[in-house]
Structure 1
């Protein structure tokens, strides 16, 4: 399943962690925080330095590591399911 964590520091600092830990991904840029997603052990190791430096890191209560490569195995099935629907242009 993996996990997700919000790091309350500048995005560049968080992005740098993905170089050191290629199994994790930036899942979202939320202004005040940047969300990382990936295997739990790798995330824990990645944010250890941030928390030691006093950076607030909040674990998200999610069932999976959404927006990460851990979900790649379900993409074909998801695409097949989504293709059963006709999507229209957004309306105001």
Structure 2
């Protein structure tokens, strides 16, 4: 495992979010364009934290946003669109 928040190996791209406690989250997938959205409840973003998708295989962009005082959203745009491919990439988020 890497100490960076975003990294890749030969099979997968990974995004890691450091949390003080185990928190509830909801993940959703969009097919066209391909995107995985993770809402973490009870989390607050760090100011100025902007991870890059440079060097990843299937991640084209990562957006992080505090959508409410109690919900932190990670939106992961993918280079693929088909439903089957998106399912195989749900493991890119490690929470």
Tell me the TM-score range normalised by the shorter chain: 0.3 to 0.5
Larger-Rg structure: 1
Structure with the larger helix share: 1
Structure with the larger strand share: 2
TM-score, normalised to structure 1, is 0.34
